[in-house]
Structure 1
């Protein structure tokens, strides 16, 4: 994401309500009127357009009735003055303006008309006839599904290959939570104005925003000073020296002991991936407690690990006592053996990273503990919260907070724009690749986080760093092709990242 010079501010994520209530106050503190702020918005969007599409490109500017439409009329006027071929398509073409004109949006529209600009009906827009479409239909205030003509227009825009620049938010997308309740524009570029809206970086938004640019319009610093936020975007520069250089005299006993519990018959691959990831993350020792029938398979996959077949409580208890961190869930299954093992592990006071069937069993045996790190995908989150995957998708922020409250654990809700609620606060990670849409990726993450914990990284830090490095490793592996990337392809990149290589390649 491109942003302003204030890197800290560009990682602050705000709610729509804060923008609606705070931008006028921020503008006033900078001696700007709201009319001047709208003018600055139009100029900022036009600047981005001009950088990508030089005159005399053929431009369609599609305007709604609110301030977002006002921004669009300013873009249209500036483009026409600069020699572009401009056509404006309005939701309510040639609507009569009140006299005297009072709103800034109406002033912008009036100025377009005074310059000789005309307006056509929205559905007269044929996107394929233009070099670029400017989406100024609906802004951040929209929190419902589109209806009527806008739906047809969005479908046409999305079906064409013409690039789209969306002002502030792609029309139809909820800027507060990243959910598209109906049709929504798939933009090639989204220019977020004043401050970054949190919903632009998570969930369905990832398929709609395209390239994201923040233009603070000269009031960003003032807005930041006047508005607190508790959600922050994480980049690799924020991790600092969380995993410091090892002393020359260190030994494996000082680098922690990970116990991975899982691997029932037919599911040995999951526990193998978690085991390998924990080793590549730098854990001093890694043990595996698996079903006896898969012990030989798991042991043959990695000679550096210690693999134990577990039949009963007596064979598991010594391993639980030796572990400094437990990874519970990869390949665990939901058999009688799985339930028995789960109950035994949950009795211990050892820090636990819980994923996969560990989470599904936790939903059946709800336990509240600060000694847990939970890493659900939306389906697992739905089971933990006794709801549906669809409801999780509608507000990922709320779901993550509910998981934290219900289980008392530190939580990572995986997916496009992963969300974390930890002892360090609320974080969002918008890294990763579609190449990671294959089996075993979650098992790698479980092993990676466990390996970091074993090396005495604080739990919140291990969850954040593990999620970020996992996503970055996926990006690197995916450079050879988004299709066909395997979870094991990430292992070499995980090793590089935990050793400090490539951490600043944002």
Structure 2
């Protein structure tokens, strides 16, 4: 994997199984036993709590029966010692501990009781009566929907305006894939312990984790040495000089030629956005191959682009031959014209970024090629895999891997916490803004990636950099308000990012 950035521990993402099997070994190699590790976890969560809520705040600590609950009891004890007003609510309140030493969680619970602490029933917790709720109910081992009292408790917590700190993972969330199978806590802060779990950063999980903080408990580097991460979080600093400064004597022919294919009647806006994005990405020349009925509309939108009316195979062939990179799909539609154009483009030898109706047609006419770059959202991914969008969202990591295997392509699965499987490895981009939930954003991304390809950026790099800079541009445009942001609002920021401005401001 490239330095995007796998060298930094906070960018290494792990599977739950790796944590379950590896944290004890890492602790032992760091001269710690598991009770010491649990104590370190409680202290780390309490440290984050103290930074945000000074004593004597009222704190409800909600504890389960496992190690996550044990962490919670340590937080409760530390908070009480520091002058906070603490009440513990337990899944099994005042349960008899036949042997307090039989587990680390029991030791932590016993220490809480020895300090004079008591426990109330989970459903006795009224979040609005507290300044903070600590969610220590279920940890990373949960892989099913919550049932019974925890469901009611989650509903009460989520309905309240009281902030929530979740220990390691918001209860109800699958930390391995980000799936939310039922009720799940909506935390304001999640303190991930030892290492980042990959599922906390993608899909619906982003509605639940809130601010995400990593506390490695002093064993992070040892854990990293003992366990290979197979997913990595991308940050702007890891892109280095993937798009270096231009030579003073360069000319447009050296900066590549993008051909954008699409633009059916009624869909000219999509191809226009892709066209403008490719130009702002720095492509030397941008051509558009569109339906004859929209040629005048597209040509009037950008005088710097060359816009061609595609009537038959003979008018498209020379354009395909001259292209450095092809963007296929914006506004393409699914008419007879669309099918014919798709078929011709797929025969071309150039690198192809496929999105929108290009992906829908690919689902009907599957092709496998290393020269394809696919950028589906979950619905398009579902059609490509002949499944449902819900199934894709239930395990985005599996879906993007299956797309790579089926089509032999480099793949970007879009959405909150976009996932990429490329020649440079597997990575995740958790940048972007809710402001980007408007039409045309995907067309903009297609143009940006194709513009980077045309400038001889390697396909994997173009996909990664394009996705990251697109997300960062969305963040900047969204600063004026999450509602009403248009895809075209991102264009000035895309230009700045491809020129190196703001790449390290993450």
Q: Same fold (TM over 0.5)?
A: yes
CA–CA separation in structure 1 for the residues paired with 2:152 and 2:7: 39
Aligned match of 1:329: 329
SS, match of residue 62 in structure 2: strand
Q: Quick check: 2:60–2:127 contact (8 Å CA) kept in 1? A: yes
CA–CA separation in structure 2 for the residues paired with 1:23 and 1:126: 35
CA–CA separation in structure 1 for the residues paired with 2:248 and 2:24: 57
Aligned match of 1:67: 67
Aligned match of 2:137: 137
Once the two structures are TM-superposed, the CA of residue 101 in structure 1 deviates from its matched residue by: 2.4
CA–CA separation in structure 2 for the residues paired with 1:80 and 1:39: 15
SS, match of residue 102 in structure 2: coil
Aligned match of 1:281: 281
Aligned match of 1:437: 437
Aligned match of 2:165: 165
Once the two structures are TM-superposed, the CA of residue 348 in structure 1 deviates from its matched residue by: 1.1
Aligned match of 1:3: none
Matches for 1:246-395 after TM superposition, within 5 Å: 246-395=246-395
Aligned match of 2:422: 422
Matches for 1:189-204 after TM superposition, within 5 Å: 189-204=189-204
CA–CA separation in structure 2 for the residues paired with 1:160 and 1:144: 24
Once the two structures are TM-superposed, the CA of residue 177 in structure 1 deviates from its matched residue by: 0.5
Matches for 1:178-197 after TM superposition, within 5 Å: 178-197=178-197
Aligned match of 2:232: 232
Q: Quick check: 2:100–2:110 contact (8 Å CA) kept in 1? A: no
**TM-score under structure 2 length normalisation:** 0.99
SS, match of residue 299 in structure 1: helix
Aligned match of 2:480: 480
Once the two structures are TM-superposed, the CA of residue 282 in structure 1 deviates from its matched residue by: 0.1
CA–CA separation in structure 1 for the residues paired with 2:272 and 2:438: 16
Is 1:81 aligned with 2:81?
yes
Is 1:156 aligned with 2:156?
yes
Deviations 1:373-396 (A, max 9, x none): 000000000000000000000000
Deviations 1:324-373 (A, max 9, x none): 11000000000000000000000111110000000000000000000100
SS, match of residue 177 in structure 2: coil
CA–CA separation in structure 2 for the residues paired with 1:33 and 1:324: 58
Deviations 1:147-169 (A, max 9, x none): 00000000000000000000000
Runs of 4+ in structure 1 displaced over 3 angstroms?
Answer: none
**TM-score under structure 1 length normalisation:** 0.99
Aligned match of 2:3: none
Deviations 1:402-433 (A, max 9, x none): 00000000000000000000000000000000
Unaligned stretches of 5+ in structure 1? 1-5
CA–CA separation in structure 2 for the residues paired with 1:222 and 1:370: 37
SS, match of residue 56 in structure 1: coil
CA–CA separation in structure 1 for the residues paired with 2:390 and 2:135: 27
Once the two structures are TM-superposed, the CA of residue 100 in structure 1 deviates from its matched residue by: 5.2
CA–CA separation in structure 2 for the residues paired with 1:417 and 1:28: 33
SS, match of residue 245 in structure 1: coil
Once the two structures are TM-superposed, the CA of residue 229 in structure 1 deviates from its matched residue by: 1.1
Once the two structures are TM-superposed, the CA of residue 489 in structure 1 deviates from its matched residue by: 0.2
Aligned match of 1:27: 27
Matches for 1:123-134 after TM superposition, within 5 Å: 123-134=123-134
Aligned match of 1:108: 108
Could you say what the CA RMSD is over the residues aligned between the two structures, in angstroms? Answer: 0.7
Q: Quick check: 2:100–2:106 contact (8 Å CA) kept in 1? A: no
Unaligned stretches of 5+ in structure 2? 1-5
CA–CA separation in structure 2 for the residues paired with 1:406 and 1:305: 35
Aligned match of 1:213: 213
Q: Quick check: 2:282–2:455 contact (8 Å CA) kept in 1? A: yes
CA–CA separation in structure 2 for the residues paired with 1:480 and 1:98: 59
CA–CA separation in structure 1 for the residues paired with 2:139 and 2:309: 58
Q: Quick check: 2:274–2:444 contact (8 Å CA) kept in 1? A: yes
CA–CA separation in structure 2 for the residues paired with 1:380 and 1:474: 22
